[in-house]
Amino acid sequence: MAIWKRKRKNSLRLAGYNYSQPGGYFITVCTEDREHLFGEVCDGKMIENQYGQIIRECWKGLPNHYPNVELDEFVVMPNHIHGIVFVVNDLVGAIHESPLPRDRRKMLLSKIVGRFKMSAAKQINILRHTPGLSVWQRGFYDHIIRDERSLSRIREYITTNPERWKYDHENNARIAEDEFDRWLSSFLKDRSIVKKEKPE
């Protein structure tokens, strides 16, 4: 069973936190029903299929639409992605570069991930001839990166994810839990720092 459980009614966003302010965020987005859409892990390496390649390109393209965003470590897994996003200043732009109203600035992170999900799903569904079919689980999971130690640990978690796939909570065939997943479980117990976007 995955660490995170779907919740459609209660928001897990950090109350009062300005998501447009400079800072780093650890993002996880899962496929609908944890379906293995993006490839497979072989001998500790992720082999991306054409859908996985679309995912990577859509993620890489985010700074083209949000110039105040920088991307860090990122990995595509069979049924989810992990990535680090940095908001480098508070100049918030919408998809078409028009300024957002002040009361919507806190939703920058949701807009970034929402654009990524929408763009990737559209391209994938064109290839599989299924317009409108869900690719992603509703919402996403994020953690505010508060210090360099956490940043280093999260980077390591992301880069080692393929070689640790047999221990991954998102893998229905996982064989056990390792130290990294115990760390992640404790890392997410503080619900004040685990958040989920509003229903799409």
pLDDT at residue 16, rounded to an integer: 58
Query: How far apart are alpha carbons 33 and 107 in whole angstroms?
Result: 25
Query: How far apart are alpha carbons 142 and 187 in whole angstroms?
Result: 12
Q: Within 13 Å, how many C-alpha atoms sit on residue 158's CB side?
A: 21
The predicted-structure confidence for 142-189, as pLDDT tens digits, reads as follows: 888 888 888 899 999 999 999 999 988 888 888 888 887 777 766 655
Q: Which of these ranges, 42-46, 76-80, 163-167, 192-196, has the smallest mean pLDDT?
A: 192-196
Q: Which residue reads 């940095």 in tokens?
A: 86
Helix H, strand E, coil C: the string for the chain is CCCCCCCCCCCCCCCCCCCCCCEEEEEEEEEHHHCCCCEEEECCEEEECHHHHHHHHHHHCHHHHCCCEEEEEEEECCCEEEEEEEECCCCCECCCCCECCHHHHHHHHHHHHHHHHHHHHHHHHHHCCCCCCCCECCCCEEEEECCHHHHHHHHHHHHCCHHHHHHCCCCCCCCCCCHHHHHHHHHCCCHHHCECCCCC
Q: Which pTM does this prediction carry? A: 0.76
The predicted-structure confidence for 31-71, as pLDDT tens digits, reads as follows: 999 999 999 999 999 999 999 999 999 999 999 999 889 99
